[in-house]
Amino acid sequence: MRFEDLKGKKTNGTAESVQGALELKYGAILEPDVNEAVELLKTKRVDALIFNNLFFLDLKKNSSGSEN
């Protein structure tokens, strides 16, 4: 997915974050519940997730061994 593809799509984030500001710039609709980000994607309540590298690595570390 390209940033241009975010227009009208639901993404996970907050407007105060760098990622959220970027998502809004490209027309995304924000769903702010970061704690349930992966579950929102799995249940198709959001169309995309955008994270910085540190958040993604922490998410990956904490979900290792769980169902992907």
Residue 24: give its domain's CATH number: 3.40.190.10
Number of domains composing the chain: 1
pTM above 0.85, yes or no: no
Residue 40 lies in a domain: yes
Residue 68 lies in a domain: no
Query: Which residue is listed with tokens 């241009």?
Result: 4
Tell me how far CA of residue 11 lies from CA of 21, 36, 64, in angstroms: 11, 12, 23
Residue 33 lies in a domain: yes
> Mean pLDDT of successive 10-residue segments in the chain (68 residues)?
88 81 90 75 83 63 57
Residue 28 lies in a domain: yes
Domain hosting residue 55, numbered range: 3-63
